[in-house]
Amino acid sequence: MTTTDHRQSLRYRLKTMAAGAFAGLAVLSMSPVAQAQEEPVNVTFIIYTAPGDPFWQPVIKGAQEAAKDRNVNVDIQYADSDPVKQNNLMETAIANKVDGLAVVNWLPGAFTDNIAKAREAGLGVVTFDTNDPNPNATKSQAYVGQDFFAAGQRIAQKMIDTAKLKSGDHVVAPVEDPDAFYGTERYRGIKDVLDKAGITSEKLDATPTMATALTRISQYLVGNSQTKAVIGLGSVVTEIAPQAAAEAGLSIAVGGFDLSPGIVDAIMAKKMIATVDSGAYYEGYMPIVMLAYYKRYGIPPASIPIGGTIIDSGNAELVKKFAGTYR
C-alpha cells in the first residue's frame, strides 16, 4: 500500500468511527434512562408573606426561569405570614408526593418538624431567603440566602461612615416581624457595630403592612426626635422610611436592606444612603436547580451564601435598570 492509499484508508476509518459514535449518542439520547431523567420534576415553592410584596418579584422570576430551564413544574404558594398556614402548605406538598420543597424558614422552631417529615418522605428540601442561623437546626439540605449578621454589620458601618454618626447618637431599626430570623440577626449585626461606636439603638415592630409601618415609624420619630438615623431591617420598612422621616419633620439618615423600585429611586434621589442587596433572583433560581438535580441525578443540594452588596448612589443606576426583575 502506498502512503497515499494508507492516508485515504485512515480517513475512511476515522469517518466510519465518527459516524458510529454519533449513532451511538443518538441511540443513548432515546434510551428510557435518558427520557426518565428529563421527565418534569415537581417542586412546591413557599413564600412566607402574602402576594404583592415587591421584594419577591425577582425571587419569583428566578424560580420561574429555573423551572423553564430545567423542566420543572413549580407551584408557588403564599403563607400570608401565618406559620399555621405555612405548615399546612408543607403538609399538603408532602401528601402530594412532590419531588422537592423550597421554603422560607423564617420563624424559630415553627417548621422544623415538617422539614424533617419532608426529608423522611424522600423530598429534597432547600430553605431560601431566611433560615435558622444555628448549624444543623433543621433537616434542610441547603440554604440559599444572606448572612444576616454580616450584612447588618456592613450597613451599620456604611451609615456611620456616610452619615457621620458618632458616640451618643441614637438609631432606630424598624422591622416587619420582630421574631423573624432575618430581623433578629440583621439587628444583632447592626447593634454589634453601633455598640462599639457608642451609638444607642432600638428595634421597632412596624408590621409588614406599608400603611401601618409608615404610621408606626413616623410616630416613633415624633416621640424620639433625637434619633439620627433609621435602618430598616426589611424591604417594606426600608422603602417607607424616607417618607416616615419626612412626615415626622426630621431630616435624618436612612438606610436598610433589600431592593425594590421604590428603594432604588430613594437612593438615586438622595433620600436614602444605601441598602444591602439580598440577591433575591438567586433565592428563586438556585433552589429549583438544586432540587431538580437532586431528583434526577442524586446530587445533594449545597448551601450558597448570596447577597451582601451595598447599593448606594455609586451603583444604583445600574440596579434601577433591573429593579423588580433581576434585582
Angle (CA) 282 283 289, round 5°: 70
Cα distances from 246 to residues 218, 230, 250, 272, 275, in angstroms, run 8, 12, 6, 12, 19
In angstroms, rounded to a whole number, what is the distance separating the alpha carbons of residues 152 and 60?
25
Residue 9 inside a domain? The answer is no
pLDDT digits (tens, 9 = 90+) for 63-101: 999 999 999 999 999 999 999 999 999 999 999 999 999
Residue 131 belongs to domain with CATH number? 3.40.50.2300
In angstroms, rounded to a whole number, what is the distance separating the alpha carbons of residues 54 and 160?
28
DSSP strand pairing (304-305 vs 72-78): unpaired
Residue 20 inside a domain? The answer is no
Residue 24 has pLDDT above 70, yes or no: no
Give the whole-number percent of the chain exceeding pLDDT 70: 89
Amino acid 135: pLDDT: 86
The CB-side HSE value for 216 (13 A sphere, CA atoms) comes to: 19
Residue found by looking up cell 451511538 in the block:
24
Amino acid 29: pLDDT: 38
Where does a domain end: 253, 276, 299? 276
Structural domain including 251 reads 148-276
DSSP strand pairing (170-175 vs 200-205): parallel
Q: What's this model's pTM, rounded to 2 decimal places?
A: 0.83
- The total domain count for the chain is 2
pLDDT digits (tens, 9 = 90+) for 196-230: 999 999 999 999 999 999 999 999 999 999 999 99
Amino acid 323: pLDDT: 86
In angstroms, rounded to a whole number, what is the distance separating the alpha carbons of residues 292 and 66?
10
* Cell numbers at 149, concatenated: 449578621
pLDDT digits (tens, 9 = 90+) for 276-311: 999 999 999 999 999 999 999 999 999 999 999 999
Residue 25 inside a domain? The answer is no
Residue 58's φ and ψ, nearest 5 degrees, are -65, -30
Residue 73 inside a domain? The answer is yes
Residue 3 inside a domain? The answer is no
Residue found by looking up cell 423573624 in the block:
180
10: helix, strand or coil: helix
86 and 176 co-located in one domain: no
Residue 57 has pLDDT above 50, yes or no: yes
Angle (CA) 91 93 99, round 5°: 135
Residue 255 has pLDDT above 50, yes or no: yes
113 and 80 co-located in one domain: yes
139 and 152 co-located in one domain: no
